[in-house]
Amino acid sequence: MFVGLAHAADIPNGKSGWNIGFMPFAAYNSDLGLQLGGLANVYYYGDGKQYPAYQHSWYAEISHFSKGSGLYRFFYDTEYLLPGYKLSIDALYMPDQALDFFGFNGYDAVFQPDWIDEYAASYQSRMFYKHERNLLRFKIDMQHSTPIPHTRWVVGYAFKQFTVNEVNINQLNKGKEPHEQLPAIDGLYAKYIDWGIISATEAKGGIHHDITTGLVYDTRNNEPCPTQGIWSEIVLLNSFHPEFTYGKLALTHRQYFPITSQLSSAIRIGYQQHIYGKSPFYLYPYMVYSYLPSPEIDGIGGSKTVRGILRNRIVGNGVAFGNAELRYKFWHFQLFKQQWYAALNPFVDAGMVVDKIPLQITHITEDITPYFASNAEKIHLSYGCGIRAAMNENFVLATDIGFPLSKQDGTMGLYIGINWLF
């Protein structure tokens, strides 16, 4: 269900004043339990002269699973609080009882689908490729124009606290019949600790302080859904921790091409590389951008990087990814006294580890062929389609469904959220 509210005066082809989008939701996961939550986005357009750009945006989301997982987030974005500066503030708490973990280096880490299929003869546990991770994060980013046209500098700070452990099987088994309960076995995360691939100093998480700097080149004609222009950036993240200080370089190029008044295409190409120091295992999948409107931080794979491929399936010292999609706004209409459009976006996504994490595995005495392959990594591909419903250009309800080409990457991904991917 969606509710749209406004306390605003309509202006020709635009909006002024306040606009509110709200969406409650409920879902059920057999392992995590009942999910209840909702999200709301409040926009202030002022006199509306800059529409569809807004003056202030406040976003809040609360989602709670009955067995403990959830998402609690507040995000604020503006260019008007400090005139001339683009400012975003993000506060997030994300307890995740079952975060995906498939090892490192893409296809070099073998995925055994039957091990998580309770109807297969070789079934081990639905949680075999999972571990628990709780994340507390506070992030503030600022951008300002430079003497070079369309170019802004970027600076930001983030506090991140990770708490990592094995999946709490006892918690997830509460209220289940004996035949439905998860078996008490070592998952891949526990095996990596036993094998020494994950060290004791990183196995349980830690506190990190991040400083980001960079440059953004932006000629987009519209921020929420551009139809022409370029948005490219170079960002350097420096992360500080007593044992794990490291740097990560992120290059991202996005470009938008008009085809007709209703149809456009969009591409995104990204490259992220650790350039010095050593990262703890739980930060290798952490994606770095100049601006982070989404709570999703993990990749490659999943809703925000390569759709349809298992989240965190493509993890390495250096990774590359790409997205190409068509965007067809097939219907413009008014609802709840608001301006809306509906759109379809067929897409093709890809990703690959281009610089592998060195692994010491020769000392492992058990048969490792079910876990590791030699030089198996290659490009991961997926395809699919999405649908969007946008209110007043900015509040965009989104659904994507993606399918990987290889069973090593899963079978399907269905994602429901907000905003265009890029």
Would you list the domain boundaries of the chain? 3-418
Phi, psi of 169 (to 5 degrees): -60, -40
pLDDT tens digit sequence for 287-327: 999 987 777 788 899 999 999 999 999 999 999 999 999 99
pLDDT of residue 7: 46
What's the pLDDT score for residue 34? 87
Query: Taking the chain (422 residues) in consecutive chunks of 10 residues, what is each chunk's mean pLDDT?
Result: 47 76 83 88 92 93 92 95 94 95 98 96 97 97 97 97 96 90 95 97 97 98 94 98 96 98 97 97 95 80 94 97 98 90 98 97 94 97 97 92 97 91 94
Q: What is the pLDDT of residues 336-366, one digit of tens each?
A: 888 999 999 999 999 999 999 999 999 999 9
The residue among 147, 159, 141 whose CA lies nearest residue 82 is 141
Return d(Cα 84, Cα 82) in angstroms, integer.
Answer: 6
User: In Å, how far from its chain's centre is CA 248?
Assistant: 17
The first and second tokens of residue 331, run together, are: 């219907």
Q: Give the gyration radius of the chain's Cα atoms.
A: 22
Nearest 5 degrees, angle CA 193-CA 195-CA 201?
40
Q: Which two tokens stand for residue 18?
A: 């306040």
Q: Write down the residue that tokens 């580890």 correspond to.
A: 353
Contact 299, 322 (CB under 8 A): no
Q: What is the pLDDT of residue 86?
A: 95
What pLDDT, on a 0 to 100 scale, did the predictor assign at position 13?
Answer: 59
Cβ contacts of residue 190 below 8 Å, gap of 6+?
A: 166
In 3D space, the residue among 71, 49, 56 whose CA is nearest the CA of residue 20 turns out to be: 56
Residues 6+ apart with CB under 8 A from 157: 139, 140, 209, 210, 211, 212
Q: Phi, psi at residue 131, to the nearest 5°? A: -150, 165
- CATH classification for the domain delimited by 3-418, as one of 2.60.40.10, 2.40.160.50, 2.40.170.20, 2.160.10.10: 2.40.160.50
Ramachandran category for residue 103: left, alpha or beta (phi over 0 → left; psi -120 to 50 → alpha): left
Per-residue tokens: 145:
């124009």
* DSSP 8-state assignment for residue 70: E
Show the DSSP H helices in 216-312 as ranges.
none
Supply the pLDDT for residue 126: 95
Q: Which of 377, 255, 387 is nearest to 323 (CA)?
A: 255
Cα separation, 103 vs 134, in Å, equals: 19
In this structure, which amino acid lies at residue 155?
V
Q: For the full predicted model, state whether its pTM sits above 0.75.
A: yes
Q: Whole-angstrom Cα distance, residue 311 to residue 320? A: 15
- Residue 109 and residue 152 in contact, taking contact as beta carbons nearer than 8 Å: no
Predicted pLDDT at 27: 79
Q: Which pLDDT belongs to residue 8? A: 44
